[in-house]
């Protein structure tokens, strides 16, 4: 399925992305259009712990990259989304090997948010798909957002120089974005690969699927006791901040604030349970 180390399109680019990600990434935060404003939905790997078994004596970066990618084949995670402590929706994620994916792996996320006004409710569903190479580098991003009868579609594809060509909805022309930008939904998987290391864990650009593939600058710091992650997202409309509680493995237990938007890990049973969204 893949080119051998040192050959084909996945060698230097994939290894470079992986090495940068493992050094820099420690936490993920998502910015989503909700109730007419941008808010954080910061989540990371839920469900069973993923343990990366990479031989300590394996110093070939390309070989290590294949260990990291294969560790996430079969990954699944569920989350409940909250507004002021009340449930407003849920999200599901999964990653799997796919012959149809550019690079051989695919990460999918589906998010549903329900808003109530009196007796009426409105539902927005966002589905994102990221195609990945063996080194967890994103090759393509596709987003579909359904809100009532309106459907918007977006995508980001790699150009020859590895920069992103981004289009969304009825935009007049595609945007070109620096190729170092990471899909926001992909960062939690990189967190699981590296663990939460105290200090500056991430500093770079992200493409936020839930906000029309908008580019933002993300900085994340992990506390000395590794119990908390503090994130700062610079967007075109200002700065957003979020705090997350981490478990002993460095995975996010809960994120966001009780006075606003938040998310937390959930079981399949909880996701399947009915709920009444707040006004």
- Spatial separation of the C-alpha atoms in residues 149 and 224, rounded to whole Å: 48
Which conformational region is residue 21 in: left (phi greater than 0), alpha (psi within -120 to 50 degrees), or beta? alpha
Q: For the whole prediction, is pTM greater than 0.85?
A: no
pLDDT digits (tens, 9 = 90+) for 70-97: 778 888 888 899 999 999 999 998 999 9
Place of tokens 């079969």: 74
Place of tokens 């090495």: 19
- Spatial separation of the C-alpha atoms in residues 230 and 44, rounded to whole Å: 13
**pLDDT of the residue at 131:** 96
Q: Which two tokens stand for residue 142?
A: 């596709």
Residue 232 to residues 29, 31, 42, 226, Cα–Cα distance (Å): 9, 11, 11, 17
- Spatial separation of the C-alpha atoms in residues 40 and 242, rounded to whole Å: 7
CB 27 within 8 A of CB 40: no
CB 175 within 8 A of CB 166: yes
Q: Which two tokens stand for residue 238?
A: 């200002």
Q: Which two tokens stand for residue 190?
A: 């990189």
Q: Report the relative pairing of strands 86-97 and 150-158 from DSSP bridges.
A: unpaired
Place of tokens 């190729």: 179
**pLDDT of the residue at 15:** 35
Q: Which two tokens stand for residue 66?
A: 């294949």
Smallest CA-to-CA distance from 210 within 91, 121, 97, 74 is with: 91
List of long-range contacts for 111-117, beta carbons under 8 Å, 24+ apart: 111/32, 111/41, 111/81, 111/210, 113/32, 113/34, 113/81, 113/88, 113/89, 114/88, 114/89, 114/277, 115/35, 115/88, 115/277, 116/276, 116/277, 116/278, 116/279, 117/279
**H/E element, 19:** helix 12-24
Distance of CA 18 to the CA centre of its chain: 16
**pLDDT of the residue at 22:** 38
- Per-block average pLDDT, block size 10, for the chain (279 residues)? 29 39 33 31 34 45 59 86 93 92 93 88 93 90 92 95 92 87 81 73 86 88 86 85 78 80 91 90
């Amino acid at each position: 399925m893949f080119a051998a180390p040192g050959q084909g399109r996945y060698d230097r680019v994939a290894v470079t992305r992986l090495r940068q990600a493992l050094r820099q990434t420690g936490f993920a935060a998502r910015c989503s259009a909700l109730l007419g404003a941008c808010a954080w939905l910061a989540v990371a790997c839920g469900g069973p712990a993923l343990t990366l078994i990479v031989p300590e004596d394996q110093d070939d970066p390309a070989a290590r990259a294949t260990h990291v990618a294969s560790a996430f084949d079969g990954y699944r995670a569920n989350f409940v989304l909250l507004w002021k402590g009340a449930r407003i929706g849920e999200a599901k994620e999964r990653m799997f090997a796919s012959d149809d994916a550019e690079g051989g792996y695919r990460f999918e996320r589906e998010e549903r948010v329900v808003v109530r006004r009196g007796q009426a409710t409105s539902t927005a569903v966002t589905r994102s798909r990221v195609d990945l190479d063996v080194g967890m580098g994103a090759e393509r991003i596709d987003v579909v957002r359904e809100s009532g009868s309106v459907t918007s579609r977006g995508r980001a594809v790699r150009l020859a120089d590895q920069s992103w060509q981004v289009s969304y909805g009825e935009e007049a022309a595609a945007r070109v974005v620096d190729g170092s930008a990471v899909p926001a939904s992909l960062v939690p998987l990189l967190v699981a690969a590296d663990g939460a290391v105290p200090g500056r864990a991430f500093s770079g650009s992200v493409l936020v699927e839930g906000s029309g593939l908008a580019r933002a600058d993300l900085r994340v710091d992990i506390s000395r006791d590794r119990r908390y992650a503090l994130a700062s997202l610079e967007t075109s409309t200002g700065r957003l901040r979020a705090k997350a509680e981490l478990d002993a493995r460095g995975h996010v237990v809960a994120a966001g604030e009780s006075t606003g938007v938040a998310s937390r890990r959930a079981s399949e049973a909880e996701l399947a349970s009915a709920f009444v969204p707040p006004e």
